[in-house]
Chains A and B, each alone.
Chain A
Amino acid sequence: MITHFLKLEWKQYFRSSYWQKGIALKIIMGFFVLYLIAVFLGIGIGGYFILKKTFPEQDPLQIVNSMLIFAILGDLIFRYLMQKLPVMNIKPLLILPIKKDKLVHYVLGKSAFSGFNFLSLFFYIPFAIVLISQGYNVAGVLGWLFAMVFIIQAVNFLNFLINKDNRVFAFIATLLVSLIALQKFTSFDASIYSQQVFDGIVANPILGLVPFATAIVLYYVNYKQLRDRVYLDDVVAVKVEEANTADLSWTERLGDVAPFIKNDIRLIWRNKRTKTVFLMSFLFLFYGLVFFTQETYQKMPAMLMFASLFVTGGFALNYGQFIPAWDSAHYKMLMSQSFRYRKFLESKWFLMVAMTSVLYFMSIPYLYFGTKIFLMITCGAIFNIGFNSLFLLYAGSFNRKRIDLTKGGFGNTQGTSATQFLIIIPLMLFPMAIYWVFDKFIGYNSGFIAVALVGVIGMVFKNYFMNLIEKKYIKDKYAMINAFGKEA
């Protein structure tokens, strides 16, 4: 039986849309994963020495131990937001002659191997190896590592128990925040207790069995709870959300693009992934803080330009790069309706421009960093509105990947192809290059003027470019219908 399950897993993994991508994308994604692993390994291996150097009079292991309480609570919060028990996977198995016990064990057992549980091990394991090589007590370190592995598992199963109960979540979040606040502002220091507990495990490795036992108990509680609820009207139920219909009649003023704008607003608000894109664009607003506050970047104005583009461009970039794939599920229907393609494109353009303008107004507090920075953001906004919005529409005509809006939000790469990587060049590097060239060889303000000028040219000749873009979409219509029709 277990081999059947493993085979299913294998197929699910390798037949997922993730692998159906072009070779170029696979290579890029591969490098990205390698990079992430390398970073964690680097921290794991180098962490000991970095801590040793920064705090010469303290024991690096004790420093780590004192922080673990926060790491564990943080992990729990992160999982609460991101991780869900993939219970729907067993729906097709329910009617087959397999005992329900087995199905539940399968779902829970599978979750023990989820990616959430592995990421931090890339830190703990190399860190433990370095500790041993540095002459720490081998049994103590192994006991500690053993404890860490099962704390991760315990957190994994605890998360499923509190799954989606907002009260518990609020409690944990408050706990974490107040612990940090207490440590900052009062003499109460949770890290001391954290350190004592985990130092204790290093001293008495046998205590590592406590997390192990906890994980087992939590697994069993999960099992008990799920076992009786594997029914289509219970945990395996498809959740139906109630429609919320906001009045969007104000869009009527926008004329004949109104039906599409209304649709796009609903599209964004009613689907997880688009909602994430929308909310993320406000996070991008803070992107400038990373760059403008750092001394090193002050001497690299091209990098500041890069940041300025992101401040107002979050929405246009993230939403625009998948036009028209957002509409891929009903693209056929759109193509059999009588309207000018131009209206459809105009509505997307309007949305990007409107959101960029809103973000621009929200970026006014950046004046705090001086008028130069704000001027840069202004130029970035003009560039985003004039050039990037049109360019993204054009680039969109190369999109050939279906996006299934019902699939999850964060970290969903569906619809991504090499197009998304290639368009970054003109979108980001082009303005940076212009800025750099003019700034370097002509003088300070010419860089701003050049970047803004490109944007203004885009705005002035918008109709001309729109005509070209419309033609391109009409030409590629059949290829898009065909590609969007394929299940992702």
Chain B
Amino acid sequence: MITINTVSKKYGQAEVLNVEKIEIPRGQSFGLVGNNGAGKTTLFNILLDLIRPTTGEITNNNVVVNKSEEWKSFTGSFIDESFLIGYLTPEEYFDFIGDLRGMNKADVTSFLAQFDEFFNGEILGKKKYLRDLSKGNQKKAGIIAAMMGNPQVVILDEPFANLDPTTQIRLKKIIKTLTDNKEVTVLVSSHDLSHVTEVCERIVVLEKGNVVKDINTSQETLKELESYFAA
């Protein structure tokens, strides 16, 4: 589904990302871990054609992301709060994204109904603008918006950060359901090793822009990661 081919990013002399090759097959749940500055967000930003790689290219479902914009119609993403429109209410934001993804009002309403439990009554009908919601609630809205319009690829940067424990557990369930039938490819980055090992079948560790580990998740993976980061 996604092929990352010799992608590197340099700012002046400093190289922040250098990935030889990563192949992500359709339906895989793919986890990206690494310390601050490891290049996780940079990689996602290149994947979303928000910044340009210095060398190499990424293809998303055979579309080279910085050559054509076709990938946008089947890719949903949430990187950070700047992906929200602060002066809209959550409902208006979902309508807006729904509009862009070809959903009508009824589609949006029935889509959102699935996530009642996830929203926990804190998002819809609150008469608040997104900018006035707490960080955690903003994140909830952004994550769900990324899943609108049946995307085949969902990209979430640090989805677990700022969420309360209950919501973290519910989010894990949502991500697992999403990848159940091996149709939707999910890319998640996280600082929380146990969450990411739980939802991802494959984990790549970045360090200073380089891939240092590429693991198929198993019973021992969490231990392995913990000992790696402890060192």
Contact = CB atoms under 8 A, between A and B. Distances in A.
B77 A330 contact: no
B83 A330 contact: yes
Nearest to A327: B85
B50 A245 contact: no
Given A241-B132, A242-B128, A332 B83 contact: yes
Interface in B24-53: 48-52
Interface stretch (A183-191, A255-263, A305-313): A255-263
B85 A478 contact: no
B67 interface: no
A482 B99 CA distance: 26
A267 B87 contact: yes
Interface stretch (A113-121, A132-140, A335-343, A373-381): A335-343
Contact of B50 (A258, A259, A339, A481): A481
Nearest to A256: B99
Interface string A222-265: 00000000000000000011110100000000000011001100
A406 B48 CA distance: 27
Contacts of B54: none
B132 A336 contact: no
A317 interface: no
B176 interface: no
A485 interface: yes
Chain B, interface SS category: loop
B111 interface: no
A270 interface: yes
B50 A337 contact: no
B56 interface: no
A240 B128 contact: yes
A405 interface: yes
Nearest to A340: B69
A337 B87 contact: no
A339 B131 CA distance: 24
A52 interface: no
A100 interface: no
Given A329-B82, A481-B51, A485-B82, A243 B89 contact: yes
Nearest to B89: A243
A336 B50 contact: yes
B132 A338 contact: no
B100 interface: yes
A333 interface: yes
Contacts of B86: 329-330, 405-406
A271 B87 CA distance: 7
A79 interface: no
Contact of A335 (B50, B87, B91, B99): B50
B129 interface: yes
Contacts of A481: 50-51
A266 interface: yes
B51 A330 contact: no
A406 B49 contact: no
A266 B50 contact: no
A258 B99 contact: yes
Contacts of B82: 329-333, 485
B52 A263 contact: no
A329 B79 CA distance: 13
B72 interface: yes
Contacts of B50: 332, 335-336, 478, 481
Interface string B104-145: 000000000000000000000011110110000000000000
Nearest to B69: A338
Contacts of A485: 82
Contact of B131 (A337, A338, A406): A406
Contacts of A331: 82
B77 A336 contact: yes
Contacts of B88: 263, 266
Contacts of A263: 85, 88, 96
A482 B51 contact: yes
Contacts of A271: 87
B83 A333 contact: yes
Contacts of B127: 242-243, 245
Nearest to A482: B51
B97 interface: yes
A337 B97 contact: yes
Given A336-B48, A337-B97, A406-B86, A245 B72 contact: no
A331 B49 CA distance: 13
Contacts of B214: none
A241 B72 contact: no
A150 to B, nearest CB: 40
Contact of A266 (B75, B92, B97, B101): B92
A339 B84 contact: no
Nearest to B151: A338
Contacts of A339: 100
A243 to B, nearest CB: 5
B176 to A, nearest CB: 24
B73 interface: yes
A330 B100 CA distance: 15
Given A240-B128, A259-B99, A338-B73, A333 B84 contact: yes
Contacts of A335: 48-50
* A243, A266, A331, A481 pick with most chain B CB within 10 angstroms: A243
B72 A338 contact: yes
A405 B87 contact: yes
Contacts of B72: 336-338
B69 to A, nearest CB: 7
A266 B92 CA distance: 10
Given A266-B88, A337-B101, A481-B51, 4 more contacts: A267-B87, A336-B83, A337-B100, A338-B69
13 contacts: A241-B132, A243-B129, A245-B92, A259-B99, A262-B92, A262-B96, A330-B83, A332-B83, A335-B49, A339-B100, A405-B87, A406-B86, A482-B51
Interface of B: 48-52, 69, 72-73, 75, 77, 79, 82-89, 91-92, 95-97, 99-101, 126-129, 131-132
Question: Top 6 A-B pairs ranked by shortest CB distance?
Answer: A338-B72, A259-B99, A333-B83, A338-B73, A270-B87, A243-B127
